[in-house]
Amino acid sequence: MQVLRTVAEVRAWRKQENVRNEDVGFVPTMGCLHEGHASLIQQSIKDNKFTVVSIFVNPSQFAPTEDLDKYPRTLDADKKLLEELGVDAVFVPQPKDLYPRGIPLDVSKQVGPFISVLGLSEKLEGKTRPNFFRGVATVVGKLFNIVQPTKAYFGQKDFQQFVVLQNMVKELFFDLELVMMPITRSATSGLALSSRNKYLCEESLEIAANIYKGLKDGAQLIIKNQATEGVTRDDVLDAIQSRWIPYYQTGDFKLDYISIADVETLDEVETLSNKSQDIVISCAVYVRDRLDLKTTVRLIDNVLVPGC
C-alpha cells in the first residue's frame, strides 16, 4: 500500500500507466476506522481494479464550538487496517495541502472557493450545524478532483450527506458514480457503528441502541398502513418517541431532531399515504454517558421506508 501525502503524489500515482485507464474506487474518511468503513472499502475493492482511501479530519465542516481538536485520530491503526484490507493507496494530506490559504473555523474569516448545495444543506443536520455541508461538499469536491475516481463510496448513516453530494456531482458535472452502502450495525444491539461510539460506556451504548429501535417502530407503523389509508406524521412520531420517553426522563437522551422526509428532496412529509413515495426517517439524539455525566455524544441514525 502506498502512503500518499501531497496532491502531487496522488496525481503522479493516478497517472501511472498501469492505473490511469483503470477503474479506481475511492472512500473518503476522517479516520478512526471501524467495520462500517471496512464494508465500504471491501465493496470498492470488489468493484474496482484499484482502491484509494483518504484520511483527513476536515476543519471546514467543524464550527468554532465543535470538537475538532478532540476528534479521535488513530492513523497508525488505520493504516494497519487498510493494509490488511488490501487498499492500494491511502491519501493522508495536511490542512495546508487542501486549504493553501488556511482554514479558520470562523466562516466569516475563511477565504477561497467553497461549495454550497443550496436547498438541501439547510435542512435536518443543517439546522443544527449550519455550515457543515458547505465544508463537506467543499472537501469532497477537492478530493474528487485530486483522486479522479470512477466510483466513490459512502454509508447510509450519513444519508443527507449522500443526497447533498449526489446533487453536487450531478449539477457540477463530476464524472463519477456515487455508491451508498447500508448502515453497519452492532450484531447484538443494532446500534449504528460510529467513531463517536467510543466516547460512551457499555451501559450507555446499550441505551443508545434504542435510537434504532424507535426508528424501526416508526418505520413498521408506516409499512403496516401503506396498503390502507396511511398514517399521519404525528402517529409515526408517537411510535418512535414512545420507545425513547423513558430515556428522556432519566436524562440519558436529549432530542435534537426527528425527520420524516422524502428521500430525494428531504422535504418533510405530513401524511404518509402516498404508496409510491420513498421515505427516510432520520434523527439526531444526544446520549449522556453514565460513567461521566458531563459527557454527551451526538449520534445520528436513519431507516429507509420504500414505497409499495
Asked if the model's pLDDT at residue 102 lies above 70, the reply is: yes
Pairing of strands 151-155, 24-29: parallel
Asked if the model's pLDDT at residue 288 lies above 80, the reply is: yes
Residues constituting the chain: 308
Residue 122 included in any domain: yes
pLDDT (0 to 100) of residue 274 = 65
Domain check: are 244 and 288 in the same one? yes
CA angle 88–84–142, rounded 5-degree value:
40
For 131-154, how does the pLDDT look when each residue is reduced to its tens digit (9 = 90+)?
999 999 999 999 999 999 999 999
Q: What is the H or E stretch that residue 285 is in?
A: strand 279-288
Domain check: are 238 and 296 in the same one? yes
Average pLDDT estimate for 17-46: 97
Domain check: are 81 and 223 in the same one? no
Grid cell, residue 267, equals 422535504
pLDDT grade, residue 270 (50/70/90)?
confident
CATH number of the domain that residue 284 is part of: 3.30.1300.10
What pTM did the predictor assign? 0.95
Asked if the model's pLDDT at residue 307 lies above 90, the reply is: no
Of 160-164, 209-213, 250-254, 271-275, the range with the lowest mean pLDDT is 271-275
Residue 41 DSSP one-character state: H
Across all residues in the chain, what is the average pLDDT? 96
Residue 189 included in any domain: no
Residue 48 included in any domain: yes
Expressed as residue numbers, the domain containing 231 is 197-305
The active-site residue out of 37, 79, 129, 142 is: 37
Domain check: are 174 and 252 in the same one? no
Asked if the model's pLDDT at residue 228 lies above 80, the reply is: no
Asked if the model's pLDDT at residue 275 lies above 70, the reply is: no
Residue 155 included in any domain: yes
Asked if the model's pLDDT at residue 259 lies above 80, the reply is: yes
Domain check: are 173 and 31 in the same one? yes
Q: Could you give the number of structural domains in the chain? A: 2
Pairwise CA distance, residues 172 & 148, whole Å: 14
- Confirm whether 37 is a catalytic residue: yes
Output the CA torsion sign for 83, 55, 158, 64. positive
Q: Closest Cα to residue 231, out of 273, 195, 266? A: 273
Grid cell, residue 243, equals 420507545
Pairwise CA distance, residues 203 & 302, whole Å: 22
Domain check: are 250 and 288 in the same one? yes
Q: Closest Cα to residue 252, out of 218, 203, 216? A: 203
Per the CB < 8 A criterion, the answer to whether 119 and 170 are in contact is no
Pairing of strands 2-4, 89-91: parallel
Asked if the model's pLDDT at residue 273 lies above 80, the reply is: no
